[in-house]
Amino acid sequence: MTDATNGQDPGAPPQSKGLGRRWVFGKDISSWPMQKVAHAAQRKAELESRISLWAAGFPIENEATLSEDRRKWETRLRVRVEPPSQEWSLILGDVLYGLRSALDACVWEFAHIDGAMPHKPNLVQFPVVRDPANWDKALRERLQSVPREVAERIEMVQPFNRPLGQVAVDPLVILTDLNNTDKHRASVSVSVDPHGIRQNVSVTFDSEEASERNAPPDITYHFPSLADQALVVDARFKDPVREVRGGVTVGMRFTVDAPMGKEGIGSLTSGLVQNVHDVLNFIAVGPASPEELAEMSGQNDEGWLPVDIQADESGRTFTTSARQDDSRQSS
């Protein structure tokens, strides 16, 4: 007789958490989840390519002007070609959906492994749980017929394993929130924001006294939303300026509104793709066994420098450092 939650035999001897059977995608279990990740990565590359193509056309210029009384100097943005933000946002939505559905597809495969059948298949999905008090319910409903070791591995990657202040920035939470926003509320918008101003400007006056009166310069830097004629730099002078040489360069950052604020689209999508790929592999393979950890640390192989492997409180993150062992060092 098996447990109704995860197909575990109540009479079976206890095992270390997450250890047990291992599966290989494409051999022991369908490669469909990993193909979804690969497709999401492909759409991510397409998004980056389209952004690069737009940027290569020099769609934005900086225009500097000196006021008639020569006491005010400004630099404004001139937008020659508007960014196709809506098109980019649609592609980003595809990336998010592909990654989230890869997680769900993986759980679905394991819920039907070896002929298993969930009693409420419409509830089966990859759970993302922020509060450990909600885990038991997620286990019963979302992982109904998933093998015990797989359910334990999924528990080990849950956001609630992080310190409380880091739960909101867990990649699984970010992915879930962005995907839900894109599906149920509004599009997840990709935007172009001025980011980083480099200045190479020299100002000359009619006299040394005027130069001294205007030191240090009275300059304000702005980081506006991308719009034609948006003010970027304005400088005010006490005396008329004879000449202004040089100018400023305004960098552009391609961002998306994430739970922790605006995030660069490249780093965000790269991180999410890598995280989902790693989570799927961990679910299929599980943590290293004590024997494997011993082998990795060199305890069973002469000539290897011993390594201390320390797990953090979650039991999932390991830090390593080499130990100096006199018995292994040459004299």
20 occurs within a structural domain: no
330 occurs within a structural domain: yes
Residue 308 pLDDT exceeds 90: no
Q: What is the pLDDT of residue 225?
A: 87
Q: What is the pLDDT of residue 297?
A: 65
- As a whole number, the mean pLDDT across the chain is 85
> Do 197 and 251 fall into the same domain?
yes
Q: What is the pLDDT of residue 151?
A: 96
> Do 324 and 197 fall into the same domain?
no
Of 316 and 193, more confident: 193
The number of distinct structural domains making up the chain is 2
> Do 321 and 197 fall into the same domain?
no
Average pLDDT on 283-305 reads: 68
185 occurs within a structural domain: no
> Do 196 and 317 fall into the same domain?
no
- CA pseudo-torsion sign 321, 326, 327, 329: positive
Instruction: Choose one of 239, 257, 275: the last residue of a domain.
Output: 257
pTM of the predicted model, to two decimals?
0.79
Instruction: Choose one of 257, 276, 310: the last residue of a domain.
Output: 257
H helices present in the chain, as ranges: 32-56, 85-111, 135-142, 148-156, 171-180, 208-213, 265-285, 290-296
271 occurs within a structural domain: no
187 occurs within a structural domain: no
Max mean pLDDT range (191-195, 296-300, 317-321): 191-195
Q: What is the pLDDT of residue 266?
A: 93
115 occurs within a structural domain: no
206 occurs within a structural domain: yes
> Do 76 and 196 fall into the same domain?
yes
Instruction: Choose one of 257, 274, 304: the last residue of a domain.
Output: 257
CA distance 158 to 173: 9
Average pLDDT on 170-177 reads: 95
3 occurs within a structural domain: no
pLDDT in tens, 46-74: 999 999 999 999 999 999 999 999 999 99
Residue 95 backbone dihedrals phi, psi, to 5 degrees: -60, -50
Average pLDDT on 264-283 reads: 95
- For residue 316, give its domain range: 290-331
